[in-house]
Amino acid sequence: MGSKVIYIADDEINICNIIKSFLVREGYTVETFSDGKQLLDAFSRRKADLLILDIMMPEIDGYSLCTKIRSISNVPIIIVSAKDSETDRIAGLTLGSDDYMTKPFSPMELVARVKSLFRRIELDRAESDNPKTIEILDLAINTGTKNVMCKGKEINLTVMEYNLLMYLVLNKNRAVSREELLNRVWGFETRTETRATDDTVKRLRKKLEDAGSSLKIKTVWGYGFKIEDGGQ
């Protein structure tokens, strides 16, 4: 089996080269592109296993590129950007990215996040070998196909949204800490400063609400999140 292929799109060539050198050192095959159109053209010819996208790029910006990729593939996407407002992060995650990092960032942390995404995908594949349907309130979750249905209509979730929902559902009626979610869902083995949990929960809540679901993700202030099924 060959090494996993990662595409990076960023018009700052030095950042591309730094990220590439760290990823290549970890055994990944990396291709870099100076704008979104180049990456999209390459992806149409040869699929990658993961994408790392900047937001502010010529030709096609990162937001538009993320939307276009999501219309044809569920490939994991990490957005890296100098835009660090909550609105920017939520926009990137809402469009379907699996993680969002603000510049400047540690290349080693990016490598850790890449590894955690791949590790999570491998765990998902293992779980898919024994598919089942989990029902909670008005949701039906197929663990084989990763489909989430609400009142007969599918809710389109990204990989991380699905994983987060599943973990909270499997631990229903229990408060789950942000640290536990980062460890068990994102695969971070050490304490990491990131808003990934909060941003993904916010995005997931909106999709559940838009679908008309009665399932609510409650915030446990200063701790984490909780799903209740009404049985307790």
- Does the residue 142 lie in any domain? yes
Number of structural domains (the chain) is 2
Same domain as 153, residue 102: no
Q: What is the Cα–Cα distance from 55 to 93, expressed in whole angstroms? A: 12
Beta strand 77-81 with 99-102: parallel, antiparallel or unpaired?
A: parallel
CATH number at residue 208: 1.10.10.10
CATH number at residue 41: 3.40.50.2300
Orientation of helix 86-94 relative to helix 196-210, angle to 10°: 60
In sign, the C-alpha dihedral spanning 176, 158, 200, 52 is positive
At residue 41, the pLDDT reads 92
Residue-wise pLDDT tens digits, 96-151: 778 888 888 888 888 988 888 887 777 666 666 666 888 999 999 988 888 899 98
Report the percent of the chain where pLDDT is more than 70.
Answer: 85
At residue 85, the pLDDT reads 66
State if pTM tops 0.75: no
Given 106, 124, 142, which residue is the final one in a domain? 124
- Does the residue 232 lie in any domain? no
Position 132, amino acid:
K
Question: In whole numbers, what is the pLDDT of the chain averaged over residues?
Answer: 84
Residue-wise pLDDT tens digits, 7-16: 998 888 888 8
Position 38, amino acid:
Q
Residue 81 lies in domain: 5-124
